[in-house]
């Protein structure tokens, strides 16, 4: 657990030549929602910028700590692995991974040292010189007819995959639920229901099996709680004719 | 393959009371990158709007085909499953899934009928009344200290998981099951049940909410089939007093 958190702390997001400052802010927010905090900006068009701050909302701290670098090499200083992200197929074949396949590898690498996730400029993407500095290529699966993933969306998907790959990436443990009804309680309800349906004429006592079977199947799927049994039996009681008149 | 594509075609994204039109545009783009195209807007603050169009970039067609609805019920017409997305823990426990665990289930459901992914308003999230209309709850794993996922980012993650869950080859054979009841059929049953309980005096018309909420939650877990609705309504009808004597 501690180790995983520190793995995320060793992963930096590097944005190269970002054009819109709003995208920088949205990236900061996307990072922080998944527990990433280290942003590097290579030669951004405008930064700092009010639009970046606005789009970051609660992630202003990520922007404040962002490192602005003049070159990609500067942003990659001290890393042991640089991973490029692309939405289109490239000629030069680095080993190509989906984010899902890559995420556990990246977390494992981050145990050893700093890892960089590199994203190119919005329209032009990564240059070949930038790709040359990377050792892995990630491609997010997209609609082949419209692969135009927003910069922050691409960061969001990667950050999400990293978080989901954390050992504790599953959901927090089951919430407080009501007490499951016991076998006897459930059977008591079925008996009550059957009797009520016979009394009303809905159930033919000569062949009760099929209908009860269907109803058992329905309530079995619901996995009844004790309090729910009480409610259902209360409804049956209230609906039953009080006494013969 | 053809079948999988049509599974995505049967999944609608429903945004309730969206405040910023820019978010609507960003959602449209996020959807389209993953192959989703059907957007429903429940009572949006501003739509259509230039900012929505700008943020949609290449996904203007999704905006153009968007259905604007006055109520959530209208947006859920014809669906067999409605899935709520939340970033915070809720008391009321619908079955809770990660997007990853849910994606294959949603694609399988979409073989049978229309599926809705519901997202609440930016700041306030889903209301309890909105949650009551859903049968599943998705929670995207996030940084516990900053779970503030942008609306489009949440849609992006879900759409990404759906795409990633598309089977490459053979589809899982549709299991033998009955036809799921539609939203209208399920709501019709709830109305019938409520009315019967009021008539019997079990439900206090002055404060019907909590009891109906519990019963909705119970039957939501069961995912009712059409024939089961018919049986349940048959039971209610048979138990109701024929006429006042």
Percent share of chain A, pLDDT over 70: 89
> ipTM surpassing 0.85, yes or no?
no
Q: What pLDDT score does A4 carry?
A: 45
pLDDT digits (tens, 9 = 90+) for A170-216: 444 434 446 777 778 888 999 999 999 999 989 988 877 788 888 98
Average pLDDT of chain A is: 86
Task: Measure CA B237 to chain center.
Answer: 29
What H or E segment, with its residue span, contains residue B156?
Answer: helix B151-164
Residues of A whose CB is below 8 A from B142: 33-35, 163
Q: What pLDDT score does B177 carry?
A: 52
CA angle (B211 as vertex; B209, B217 as ends), nearest 5:
100
Q: Between chains, do B197 and A238 touch, taking CB under 8 Å as contact? A: yes
3-class state of residue A6 by DSSP: helix
Tokens encoding A226: 């004790």
CATH architecture assigned to A183-239: Orthogonal Bundle (1.10)
* C-alpha to C-alpha distances, A17 to A26, A126, B12, nearest whole angstrom: 15, 10, 36
> From B220, which residue of chain A is nearest by alpha-carbon distance?
A222
Residue B183 CA to residue B186 CA, distance in Å, equals 5
Strands (E), chain B: 11-16, 38-42, 67-69, 79-86, 96-97, 114-119, 136-139
- Tens of each residue's pLDDT in chain B, 245 residues: 344 457 999 999 999 999 999 999 999 999 999 999 999 999 999 999 999 999 999 999 999 999 999 999 999 999 999 999 987 666 556 778 999 999 999 999 998 889 999 999 998 888 888 988 888 899 999 998 898 899 999 999 999 999 999 875 333 333 445 688 888 999 999 999 999 999 999 998 887 778 998 899 899 888 899 999 999 999 999 988 765 43
Taking one residue from A and the other from B, the number of pairs with CB-CB distance under 8 angstroms is 153
> Which residues, including other chains, have CB under 8 Å from residue B194's CB and lie 6 or more apart?
B203, B208, B212
The C-alpha of B143 sits at a distance from chain A's nearest C-alpha, in angstroms, of 5
* B183-239 shares the fold of B2-164: no
Q: Between chains, do B146 and A59 touch, taking CB under 8 Å as contact? A: yes
Residue A29 CA to residue B107 CA, distance in Å, equals 29
pLDDT at A62 over 90: yes
3-class state of residue A119 by DSSP: strand
Interface probe, candidates A239, A240, A243, A245, chain B, greatest B C-beta count within 10 A:
A239
Q: What pLDDT score does B245 carry?
A: 39
Find, among B3, B36, B9, B8, the residue nearest to B171 by Cα.
B3
CA angle (B193 as vertex; B191, B195 as ends), nearest 5:
70
> From A174, which residue of chain B is nearest by alpha-carbon distance?
B96
From the list B96, B143, B222, the residue facing A219 with the nearest CB is B222
pLDDT at A162 over 50: yes
Q: What pLDDT score does B154 carry?
A: 96
Q: Between chains, do A150 and B30 touch, taking CB under 8 Å as contact? A: yes
From the list B93, B148, B160, the residue facing A157 with the nearest CB is B160
Q: What pLDDT score does A124 carry?
A: 86
Q: What pLDDT score does B91 carry?
A: 58
Q: Between chains, do A160 and B140 touch, taking CB under 8 Å as contact? A: yes
Q: What pLDDT score does B169 carry?
A: 32
Domain extents in chain B: 2-164, 183-239
Q: Which residue would you say has higher pLDDT here, A208 or A61?
A: A61
The C-alpha of B47 sits at a distance from chain A's nearest C-alpha, in angstroms, of 21
* C-alpha to C-alpha distances, B62 to A147, B65, B66, nearest whole angstrom: 15, 5, 6
> From B227, which residue of chain A is nearest by alpha-carbon distance?
A214
What H or E segment, with its residue span, contains residue B9?
Answer: helix B2-9
Q: Between chains, do B200 and A152 touch, taking CB under 8 Å as contact? A: no
The C-alpha of A43 sits at a distance from chain B's nearest C-alpha, in angstroms, of 24
Query: What confidence tier does A167 reach under pLDDT thresholds 50, 70, 90?
Result: confident
CATH topology of domain B2-164: Alpha/beta knot (3.40.1280)
Q: Which residue would you say has higher pLDDT here, B64 or A124?
A: B64
pLDDT digits (tens, 9 = 90+) for A126-155: 888 888 788 888 999 999 889 889 999 999
Whether the Cβ atoms of residue A7 and residue A110 lie closer than 8 Å to each other: yes
Residue B119 neighbours by CB distance under 10 Å: 26
Q: What pLDDT score does B139 carry?
A: 92
From the list A58, A175, A222, the residue facing B96 with the nearest CB is A175
Tokens encoding B55: 């943020």
**DSSP states along B16-48:** ES---HHHHHHHHHHHHHTT--EEEEES-SS-S
Whether the Cβ atoms of residue A23 and residue A127 lie closer than 8 Å to each other: no
Label residue B238 exposed, middle or buried (CB < 10 Å: 0-12, 13-18, 19+): middle
């Amino acid at each position: 657990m501690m180790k995983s958190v520190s793995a995320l702390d060793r992963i930096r997001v590097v944005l190269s030549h970002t054009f819109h400052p709003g995208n920088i802010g949205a990236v900061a927010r996307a990072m922080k929602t998944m527990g990433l905090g280290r942003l590097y900006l290579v030669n951004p068009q405008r930064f700092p910028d009010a639009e970046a701050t606005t789009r970051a909302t609660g992630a202003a701290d990520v922007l404040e700590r962002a490192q602005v670098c003049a070159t990609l090499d500067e942003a990659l200083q001290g890393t042991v692995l640089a991973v490029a992200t692309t939405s289109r197929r490239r000629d030069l074949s680095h080993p190509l991974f989906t984010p899902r396949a890559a995420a556990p590898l990246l977390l494992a690498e981050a145990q050893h040292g700093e890892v960089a996730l590199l994203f190119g400029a919005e329209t032009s993407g990564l240059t070949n010189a930038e790709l040359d500095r990377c050792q892995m290529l990630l491609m997010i699966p997209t609609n082949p007819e419209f692969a135009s993933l927003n910069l922050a969306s691409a960061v969001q998907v990667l950050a999400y995959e990293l978080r989901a790959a954390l050992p504790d990436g599953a959901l927090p443990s089951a919430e407080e639920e009501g007490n499951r009804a016991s076998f006897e309680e459930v059977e008591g309800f079925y008996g009550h229901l059957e009797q009520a349906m016979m009394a009303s004429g809905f159930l033919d006592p000569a062949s009760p099996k099929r209908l009860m079977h269907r109803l058992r199947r329905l309530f079995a799927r619901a996995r009844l709680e004790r309090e729910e049994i009480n409610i259902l039996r209360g409804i049956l009681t209230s609906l039953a004719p009080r006494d013969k008149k």
